[in-house]
């Protein structure tokens, strides 16, 4: 997949089959659109082009609304789309000025002039342009005049999946990682750097890697203990992860820390990718470190059982 960050970088593409949107998380409903996109490209000897935006439009249009947390960072979205087999990815900067473009300006300058689109594929009830004025009906009015065809994914194909990025965020807020996976088609994950911690875990036989998530806008599941897969240097390892404020250990504060099973090596400053599989339990306060250690041994047994039941899919 080739990635471009401006219209000027785009080469001339014969039979461009195009779609556009935020594609946060590249979940199964998105994948339905991409499947149609690739099928049309295969039938017409064309190439697929996906237009997306950075930053997320809501972050520009509503800068004081701090409630939006993304399912995928820019780099994660690139990787997800590459896995879907897209030929060309155009990432346009989303600005206030761009948000004021009329739908007709967008059609003429990007869909027609820049990409010379032959086929445009959009999701059911997709809107674009200033005040979300653009629609399938709007596109259909101009398609023949500008020499492209437009296809809308039927409502039934999208609604039957009953999936949206909002629903996935809600599932993660409720600690329902298995439901999020059902919507996404893969385990939800975060990328993080291993940073210095208090090193208390190693004193009770459960050394942890303290994690600092790279993207401040990334969606973090709610506080709890989770069974996870940990991806490090091409290896997939089992583990359990705690998100919370460590009520048993005074002064430790909020943290994200993962205990990786059967691993004894220095991970400081390395990058990990943690894949959330299922919640094990709520965060708890223990009367003693010994009680905490007893519970952690139980958690490890439960985590291994969960991970055995839900193997990592490459």
pLDDT of the chain along its 314 residues, tens only? 999 999 999 999 989 999 999 999 999 989 999 999 999 999 999 999 999 999 999 899 888 876 789 999 999 999 999 999 999 999 999 999 998 998 889 889 999 999 999 999 987 767 777 766 767 677 888 788 889 998 888 654 555 567 889 999 999 999 999 999 999 999 999 999 999 876 666 667 788 999 999 998 999 999 999 999 999 989 999 999 999 876 555 555 578 999 999 998 889 999 999 999 999 999 888 888 888 899 999 999 999 999 999 999 86
What are the boundaries of each domain within the chain? 2-163, 174-309
Confidence (pTM): 0.90
pLDDT of 155 reads 57
Q: Outline where DSSP puts E strands in the chain.
A: 2-4, 16-20, 47-54, 88-93, 117-122, 149-152, 189-195, 209-213, 224-232, 235-244, 255-260, 271-281
Q: Given 3.30.70.141, 3.40.50.300, 3.90.1010.10, 3.40.50.620, which CATH number is that of 2-163?
A: 3.40.50.620
DSSP string, 52-110: EEES-HHHHH-TT-TT--BSS-HHHHHHHHHHTT-SEEEEEEP-HHHHT--HHHHIIII
CA distances from residue 89 to 4, 50, 106 in whole angstroms, order as listed = 6, 5, 17
For the segment 195-204, what is each residue's pLDDT rounded down to a tens digit? Answer: 987 666 666 7
Q: Is the CATH code 2.130.10.10 the one for domain 174-309?
A: no
Q: Do domains 2-163 and 174-309 have the same CATH topology?
A: no
Give CA–CA dist 109/289, Å, rounded: 64
């Amino acid at each position: 997949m080739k990635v471009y960050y401006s219209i000027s970088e785009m080469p001339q593409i014969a039979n461009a089959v195009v779609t556009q949107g935020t594609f946060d998380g590249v979940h199964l409903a998105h994948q339905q659109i991409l499947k149609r996109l690739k099928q049309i490209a295969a039938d017409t000897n064309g190439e697929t082009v996906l237009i997306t935006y950075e930053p997320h439009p809501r972050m520009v249009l509503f800068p004081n609304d701090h409630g939006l947390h993304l399912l995928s960072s820019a780099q994660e979205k690139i990787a997800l789309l590459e896995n879907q087999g897209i030929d060309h990815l155009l990432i346009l900067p989303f600005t206030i000025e761009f948000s004021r473009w009329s739908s007709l300006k967008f059609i003429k300058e990007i869909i027609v002039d820049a990409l010379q689109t032959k086929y445009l594929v959009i999701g059911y009830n997709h809107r674009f342009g200033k005040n979300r004025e653009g629609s399938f009906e709007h596109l259909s009015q101009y398609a023949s005049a500008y020499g492209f065809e437009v296809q809308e994914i039927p409502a039934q194909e999208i609604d039957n999946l009953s999936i949206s990025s909002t629903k996935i965020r809600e599932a993660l807020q409720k600690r329902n990682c298995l439901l999020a996976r059902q919507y996404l088609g893969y385990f939800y994950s975060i990328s993080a750097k291993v940073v210095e911690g208090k090193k208390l875990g190693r004193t009770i036989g459960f050394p942890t890697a303290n994690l600092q998530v790279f993207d401040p806008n990334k969606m973090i599941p709610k506080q709890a203990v989770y069974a996870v897969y940990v991806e490090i240097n091409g290896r997939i390892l089992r583990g359990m992860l705690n998100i919370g404020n460590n009520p048993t250990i005074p002064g430790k504060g909020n943290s994200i820390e993962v205990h990786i099973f059967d691993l004894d090596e220095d991970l400081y400053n390395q990058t990990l990718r943690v894949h959330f599989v299922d919640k094990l339990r709520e965060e708890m306060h223990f009367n003693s470190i010994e009680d905490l250690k007893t519970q952690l041994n139980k958690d490890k047994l439960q985590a291994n059982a969960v991970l055995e039941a839900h193997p990592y899919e490459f």
